[in-house]
Amino acid sequence: MAALRDRVLSAQEVRVGFLEGASYPDGDLNVPTVAAINNFGAPEAGIPARPFFTDMVLRCSPEWGEKFAVVLQSTDYDVKAALELMGVGMSDQLRTEIIGFDSVPNSPVTDLLKERFPTGVGVKFDDVQQARIDVANGEVAAPGKPLVWSGQMLSSVASEVE
């Protein structure tokens, strides 16, 4: 019984989200910063909040305690293994939220940039300025998917146990 107690009390933590070191190919932007700006918005820059992470936590977290209890039992009370499995599941929930999020549409400028730069690579400030001018002059692009452009943020969702 003491061994079981010690294993359960060896409490660690699972971190889920956009972990240190995740960056975009150009190296200028890190994924955690971009994800935070998307989630909370940057009103001074005209970027609305798209609370995908906050929404996922609010919707999914009430079930995590019960799920953890089941997973902990299934791992014979191996806390690290249980947390690793929970991290995988929570990461999947976050990816699902990113893919399904559509409550705040892209701006017409963003849609035009996504059309011109389908992978998101190579966009410069001048390109953004030109897209603003073109939209003001009536140019439009098909609506794009919010939160999804290069796929870098989606593929950077990860978990780790500490």
Sorted by sequence, the CB contacts under 8 Å of residue 77 that are 6+ apart come out as 4, 7, 8
- Across the range 73-87, mean pLDDT stands at 95
pLDDT band at 120 (very low <50, low <70, confident <90, very high): confident
Work out the mean pLDDT of the chain and round it to a whole number: 92
pLDDT band at 154 (very low <50, low <70, confident <90, very high): very high
Q: How many other C-beta atoms lie within 10 A of the C-beta of residue 157?
A: 23
**CA 47 → CA 50, 155, 160, distances in Å?**
9, 22, 30
Q: Supply the pLDDT for residue 3.
A: 62
On whether the CB atoms of residues 131 and 115 are closer than 8 A, the answer is no
Q: Supply the pLDDT for residue 20.
A: 86
Q: Supply the pLDDT for residue 65.
A: 96
Percent of the chain with pLDDT over 90: 78
On whether the CB atoms of residues 29 and 43 are closer than 8 A, the answer is no
At 50-70, the pLDDT tens digits run: 999 999 999 999 999 999 999
Which residues is 159 bridged to in the sheet? 16
Has residue 140 got a pLDDT over 80? yes
137, with CB counted inside 10 A (0-12, 13-18, 19+), is exposed
Has residue 14 got a pLDDT over 90? yes
Has residue 105 got a pLDDT over 60? yes
Q: Supply the pLDDT for residue 130.
A: 98
- Across the range 134-155, mean pLDDT stands at 94
- Across the range 13-34, mean pLDDT stands at 87
Has residue 1 got a pLDDT over 70? no
